[in-house]
Structure 1
């Protein structure tokens, strides 16, 4: 209780504030609890054995004149759990006695050379012991250990080569990296000691003369038993007491490690060096019911030379890796199984050697290292002449880095080795503060945003960002094992977790009430996953595999998998019997893919590297890739026509220049932090003045200003949490609002506003207020959307199968959509019928059945608008036929055929799309500007029919002039969303919700259309005509969509057909019918086409957000 009042003043107002803080903390202690009675809350007992006391929002920060924290953090009270564990921080040391950090925390270069010591630090993982505590078998080479042999030859250690030695009232721990860490001797008064510099701790075990070591990057608790001045590793356990025991031969050599079901067994050669590592299981021989250890797979085999040096290692697939050394056991070459060879040149000898050159048998890999012992720096010089500099302090921590572009980064640490400050190349500072246990308690970003953390049992208990009423707080309830059992977000929504006694996750219950349950086998493999929504998956494995060989879903559909000994997928057989197969090279890269139709795609790589150079498609066409830079990033892509796409990079590996297949050139410039600050667009005339776009950024790298080539400027604003709140330009104003959980609550587009609200407990979107004031509401049950209403008017009710796929939709006009799926989860049937309210015998109004070919492409549509489709060997549509077409109907083409060039451009003649620019199609001839924008189309006799196009500096279409002189103009916002179009003086404005067109209006709002979509898609659901805000009478029409989500008809509030249309294969409307125009004078316009497309009658094009689509061409 004293801690609660620490720092409180003597006056009453301060005392009241502290009491309120106490109430807040008590309420936060349990995310699911709401404090309604302050007295009851104050009396509530907090079980500190199960849950952590929650710290206040602001951690204690040293209050001195040099504090660089924001002022609001100074002079704050603290509430903390004090950690009085003794600490004896001494950096770990290598065999030379030099300080060293663990390999994962040491900056390395190439194949990997330590940029601190100059030695090789090579870690290779070769397999795992299955179990509730999976144990990795790995080996590790370091140059400074070249005089040490731990059973794998000189210089090598392995993941089990831990031991303790005792001398001079000290304990020395030698680990799997041949690194030694020092601790003071334990006593009856000092049962536990930490070494924060080494990120490790030691304590007494539960037996006489036993010890436990824990460390970062470890796999749990490492148990040692002492005999005299030496203690060997005997077990590794986790916090749930899952244990792997370590066993030795009578001579003291490592024999095996095991858990309850399997073990890793080590075989030795005559020189007592490990020659084989095998995974074994304890099982019956099936004849005499006698149990014995049976080898299931070989993880690794090792060969040695006469100097007891590891010369060759083979993995489970018998792929070999070879090594060469000098006579003092210093590695001088490594040959990978794929053929790449790394070579090292050294200065010094034996364990004191350090690398001065690293090179390989492939191009662009040759680095020289220049060491300076006085400044503790190393300078790297690459094959292209670029240089980098690294500097470490006396404790082997990186304190300075100079990149190849001159960018400098500085790091500072406290006396416990904890990173406290980073100064980036632009001088921006990030700071970190720690609690007594070494956990981060506060971080300060370059924009001075403060994030506070409270930890308990190693887990994050509380995170808070911001100050005052706008503070966002995440709260976790922690169990006695340090696991999060409840997580509460800033809005109050809670996700709950339960665990089995062995630590495996048992269930997750989401805020909407949906629960997923998990079952595991005895070796920790998932065998069943079940959702309260009905989804269910069963997993089956072979004796020793970590990957499933069979997965069965809730409908009994079974998918089979075959894996090689390295866990690479060889074959997948689907429920319908089709299969897909893979082949690999020694680098694990796919060399051949055989798809479900038996077609082969082949991949070739740049020997001896793993970089893709040729991709041969099933039709024999080839894509080629080249890599002409030290970063080994793709520099050229050659398409099937021999056209080349070129890429260039900065010294740090960022793209600096690209020249497309059409010769369009763009260059990029970056600040020293790697953020884009300038883009220059030259088009295909590289000597002309470029279009230049400039970017101004804040300390976090967020865009503040974009200055466009025409001089106009867009300004960007953010809230305290870095969320975009405003974009302002001369033409547009976009504004966003968010709630305490960071969820979007309002979108303002100039004069139009859209608002959102969320369910209090589930956090799901519950309503959207459309720009005309109508509330679109979402109704969820069991985590699924079950209904949608518009101002209480039913729009749709949804029902799902156990797989979560929609099986029925009841529309607000009484019509019913039904959906069926095949064993592959593909839509197999969709029909629209009348509801029971129409008559006693409801009729099917529209129906389609779907058939697919072996590669999953749609091959046939049966029923309404029947179609047959055929494809070439690479999946391009080459024909579409209508078996029901009336050949006398000139509007109904019985067969459409399509041709493509080698690069996939749809063409009407060969060589008509150089650089992916279509020069002509039929009698249509096209002209482009230097940026590849279509500026003119000529057609007709002598090409007299001219259509022209104009663009702004962002290459957006702003003007269209048709052959008859009709002029259309267009405007856009910062996200390239079209905000208006004006055709012969008539203006239509567009309002967006994200990337979805949600409303359009024209004739001074007398014509207003609102669009409602299926959630999470661009599939239209409802069209509403009329502006409710202006008391206009509204009419609702329901979209009926095909399998692509393209509308084929509209129905009215009584279920009557109002509009219908048919399309060709590329979305061009072939027929349109207004069904109630003659009888009722009702005409309904709908411009929605393929998902996300809006048809412009004046151009014949479909606006597609960031581009325009020509359905006659199948592109633009």
Structure 2
């Protein structure tokens, strides 16, 4: 169940109200005909604590202004909340005053996977500029790499690439710094060696044609997965319903990407580069990122408390991660003359090493224990596919085969698994060494419709208009239903 998040507030007259981004099932709902009347209503809540202001921004799927708390004044936030109250993106209902205020949930409601652009506009407040319109695209995109079937070190059965993710820093407060190597991205160096990206390496780029017209916005995740958005005007949102993501063009200098998980990424335009400035992975969990004049990440803060510092060498390569509070070195990165990452040492002095063949394809991974993984490739560069992945002394040995949409691997015991994927990387069929077969069917939005199991039993999947799963029906008659707050 997706919970509804409610913020209880009491005005200066002692009246209690609940605010939410969804209709509130109880209480006396309050509606506004103009932003002026909404602002007058909000005046009764002044002054608001900065934490409450930030929570209200989060309800709207926005980040609060990046200003000191003392500068977060009603003149700055009241117009935003007033507009939201008028256009229906923020709801409020009055309640009898209670002794204790409690939020229903501390988790955000994920954005809908299926969106229709709103046609109703508040004409009284339309500017002289072209009226902003939302956009919704159902263009099929590739499945995220986290959904790929993998085997070995691991190797993707969808693309044949090596996709290796490792955690370098894990702090007691739950903070994790990870990095990912993808052989399909081996031609790109983002400052961590060719093919590698770190946990905060998200990008937002404008794609242009030969006449320099912007044709799309490209979002690239920390694992190098890509989402393409249609361009929209200021104040509008571009939805990619196939993957359940959106990009809100807040103003000329700020764009906010929201994924189906509910995680949000705020990008700010700095010298023609869209830099990731904030990451929100929960209502009360926000990361703030600080950069150098050369647009290199130098500090990560969690809820405005610095947790990690990044140090670079003269070539712009990330060489150290430090605890922002104690200045303890947590991780050291080592590079060769080709700018390949060849070593990573943790705070215990344990080092993992890497070797590469031509065009930065990983050839060897040596764990701190000395155990070594070896890779053999077919093809060159980022388009190469791994055909063998094995370890020392024959402890394990995976061999991979690719025939169009069909792929397979066999292990050191000659057990063979076979897979069939569609053009977007969805798994259609999987067969075990004993001949047992699983099958999956998908709808036009890439959502799972039906699963067929080796015993010929089936499960049907149904969704609501927002793309949320509402039921699983097994052929035995067993059924699981899912309910969501309106």
- Scaled by the length of structure 2, the TM-score of the pair is 0.69
Q: Summarize deviations over 1:451-476 as a string: whole Å, max 9, x none.
A: 2222237xxxxxxxxxxxxxxxxxxx
Q: Summarize deviations over 1:908-947 as a string: whole Å, max 9, x none.
A: xxxxxxxxxxxxxxxxxxxxxxxxxxxxxxxxxxxxxxxx
Whether 1:143 and 2:183 are equivalent positions in the alignment is: yes
C-alpha distance in 2 between matches for 1:333 and 1:234:
35
C-alpha distance in 1 between matches for 2:409 and 2:358:
27
Q: Residues 130 and 262 of structure 1 are in contact (CA less than 8 Å); yes or no, is this contact kept in structure 2?
A: no
Q: Secondary structure of the equivalent of 1:123?
A: strand
Q: Summarize deviations over 1:182-211 as a string: whole Å, max 9, x none.
A: 00012257x223324334221134x54211
Whether 1:112 and 2:143 are equivalent positions in the alignment is: no
The correspondence for 2:382, drawn from 351, 376, 381, is 351
Q: Summarize deviations over 1:1086-1112 as a string: whole Å, max 9, x none.
A: xxxxxxxxxxxxxxxxxxxxxxxxxxx
Q: Secondary structure of the equivalent of 1:169?
A: strand
Give the equivalent residue in structure 1 for 2:356.
Answer: 325
Deviation of 1:217 (Å): 5.7
C-alpha distance in 2 between matches for 1:417 and 1:53:
33
Question: What does 1:741-752 correspond to in 2, within 5 Å?
Answer: none
Q: Secondary structure of the equivalent of 2:433?
A: coil
Q: Residues 196 and 417 of structure 1 are in contact (CA less than 8 Å); yes or no, is this contact kept in structure 2?
A: no
Q: Summarize deviations over 1:664-714 as a string: whole Å, max 9, x none.
A: xxxxxxxxxxxxxxxxxxxxxxxxxxxxxxxxxxxxxxxxxxxxxxxxxxx
Q: Secondary structure of the equivalent of 1:328?
A: helix
Give the equivalent residue in structure 1 for 2:231.
Answer: 185
Question: What does 1:117-128 correspond to in 2, within 5 Å?
Answer: 117-128=159-170
Give the equivalent residue in structure 2 for 1:610.
Answer: none
* Change in 2 beyond 3 A, CA 1:239/1:186: farther
Question: What does 1:607-618 correspond to in 2, within 5 Å?
Answer: none
Deviation of 1:442 (Å): 1.4
The correspondence for 1:234, drawn from 277, 281, 304, is 277
Give the equivalent residue in structure 1 for 2:268.
Answer: 225
The correspondence for 1:409, drawn from 434, 438, 445, is 438
Deviation of 1:156 (Å): 0.3
- What is the root-mean-square deviation in Å for CA atoms of aligned residues? 2.8
Q: Secondary structure of the equivalent of 1:270?
A: coil
Q: Residues 306 and 324 of structure 2 are in contact (CA less than 8 Å); yes or no, is this contact kept in structure 1?
A: yes
Between structures 1 and 2, the one with greater helix share? 2
Deviation of 1:298 (Å): 2.8
Give the equivalent residue in structure 2 for 1:250.
Answer: 293
Give the equivalent residue in structure 1 for 2:197.
Answer: 157
* Change in 2 beyond 3 A, CA 1:176/1:378: same
Give the equivalent residue in structure 1 for 2:116.
Answer: 84
Q: Residues 115 and 241 of structure 2 are in contact (CA less than 8 Å); yes or no, is this contact kept in structure 1?
A: no
Question: What does 1:384-533 correspond to in 2, within 5 Å?
Answer: 384-456=413-485
Give the equivalent residue in structure 1 for 2:254.
Answer: 210
* Change in 2 beyond 3 A, CA 1:247/1:195: same
Deviation of 1:250 (Å): 1.0
Question: What does 1:911-1060 correspond to in 2, within 5 Å?
Answer: none
Q: Secondary structure of the equivalent of 1:201?
A: strand
Give the equivalent residue in structure 2 for 1:723.
Answer: none
Q: Residues 139 and 242 of structure 2 are in contact (CA less than 8 Å); yes or no, is this contact kept in structure 1?
A: yes
C-alpha distance in 1 between matches for 2:451 and 2:307:
45
Q: Bigger CA drift: 238-247 or 257-266?
A: 238-247
Whether 1:264 and 2:293 are equivalent positions in the alignment is: no
Q: Residues 400 and 407 of structure 2 are in contact (CA less than 8 Å); yes or no, is this contact kept in structure 1?
A: yes
Q: Residues 129 and 262 of structure 1 are in contact (CA less than 8 Å); yes or no, is this contact kept in structure 2?
A: no
C-alpha distance in 2 between matches for 1:325 and 1:52:
57
Which consecutive residues of structure 1, in runs of 5 or more, have no partner in the other structure? 1-28, 30-45, 55-79, 93-98, 282-293, 458-1116
Give the equivalent residue in structure 2 for 1:365.
Answer: 396
Q: Residues 165 and 173 of structure 1 are in contact (CA less than 8 Å); yes or no, is this contact kept in structure 2?
A: yes
Q: Secondary structure of the equivalent of 1:339?
A: coil
C-alpha distance in 2 between matches for 1:386 and 1:316:
39
Question: What does 1:496-575 correspond to in 2, within 5 Å?
Answer: none
C-alpha distance in 2 between matches for 1:240 and 1:382:
44
Q: Secondary structure of the equivalent of 2:424?
A: coil
Q: Residues 256 and 266 of structure 2 are in contact (CA less than 8 Å); yes or no, is this contact kept in structure 1?
A: yes
C-alpha distance in 2 between matches for 1:182 and 1:82:
16
Q: Summarize deviations over 1:817-837 as a string: whole Å, max 9, x none.
A: xxxxxxxxxxxxxxxxxxxxx
C-alpha distance in 2 between matches for 1:183 and 1:192:
10
Q: Residues 113 and 467 of structure 2 are in contact (CA less than 8 Å); yes or no, is this contact kept in structure 1?
A: no
Q: Summarize deviations over 1:331-368 as a string: whole Å, max 9, x none.
A: 01111112221111000000000011111104341121
- Scaled by the length of structure 1, the TM-score of the pair is 0.31
* Change in 2 beyond 3 A, CA 1:47/1:299: closer
Q: Residues 52 and 456 of structure 1 are in contact (CA less than 8 Å); yes or no, is this contact kept in structure 2?
A: no
C-alpha distance in 2 between matches for 1:344 and 1:171:
35
* Change in 2 beyond 3 A, CA 1:267/1:321: same
Deviation of 1:229 (Å): 5.4
C-alpha distance in 2 between matches for 1:326 and 1:256:
33
Between structures 1 and 2, the one with greater strand share? 1
Whether 1:198 and 2:210 are equivalent positions in the alignment is: no
Q: Residues 118 and 355 of structure 1 are in contact (CA less than 8 Å); yes or no, is this contact kept in structure 2?
A: yes
C-alpha distance in 2 between matches for 1:227 and 1:251:
11
Q: Residues 165 and 171 of structure 1 are in contact (CA less than 8 Å); yes or no, is this contact kept in structure 2?
A: yes
Give the equivalent residue in structure 1 for 2:60.
Answer: none
Q: Summarize deviations over 1:590-637 as a string: whole Å, max 9, x none.
A: xxxxxxxxxxxxxxxxxxxxxxxxxxxxxxxxxxxxxxxxxxxxxxxx
C-alpha distance in 1 between matches for 2:182 and 2:406:
20
Larger RCO, structure (CA 8 Å, separation 6 or more): 2
C-alpha distance in 1 between matches for 2:248 and 2:167:
29
Deviation of 1:437 (Å): 2.5
C-alpha distance in 1 between matches for 2:222 and 2:353:
21
Q: Residues 450 and 460 of structure 2 are in contact (CA less than 8 Å); yes or no, is this contact kept in structure 1?
A: yes
C-alpha distance in 2 between matches for 1:427 and 1:227:
56
Deviation of 1:123 (Å): 0.6
Whether 1:175 and 2:215 are equivalent positions in the alignment is: no
Question: What does 1:590-609 correspond to in 2, within 5 Å?
Answer: none
C-alpha distance in 2 between matches for 1:50 and 1:155:
42
Q: Summarize deviations over 1:42-71 as a string: whole Å, max 9, x none.
A: xxxx998566669xxxxxxxxxxxxxxxxx
* Change in 2 beyond 3 A, CA 1:147/1:402: same
Q: Residues 90 and 198 of structure 1 are in contact (CA less than 8 Å); yes or no, is this contact kept in structure 2?
A: no
* Change in 2 beyond 3 A, CA 1:130/1:384: closer
Deviation of 1:91 (Å): 4.7
Deviation of 1:276 (Å): 0.8
Question: What does 1:695-844 correspond to in 2, within 5 Å?
Answer: none
Which consecutive residues of structure 2, in runs of 5 or more, have no partner in the other structure? 5-17, 27-111, 118-134, 208-213
Deviation of 1:180 (Å): 2.2
Q: Residues 163 and 230 of structure 1 are in contact (CA less than 8 Å); yes or no, is this contact kept in structure 2?
A: no
Which of the pair has more CA radius of gyration?
A: 1
C-alpha distance in 1 between matches for 2:186 and 2:310:
23
Q: Summarize deviations over 1:375-426 as a string: whole Å, max 9, x none.
A: x111212222221101110001111101111111001111211111110111
Give the equivalent residue in structure 2 for 1:514.
Answer: none
Q: Residues 114 and 244 of structure 2 are in contact (CA less than 8 Å); yes or no, is this contact kept in structure 1?
A: no
Q: Residues 172 and 183 of structure 1 are in contact (CA less than 8 Å); yes or no, is this contact kept in structure 2?
A: yes
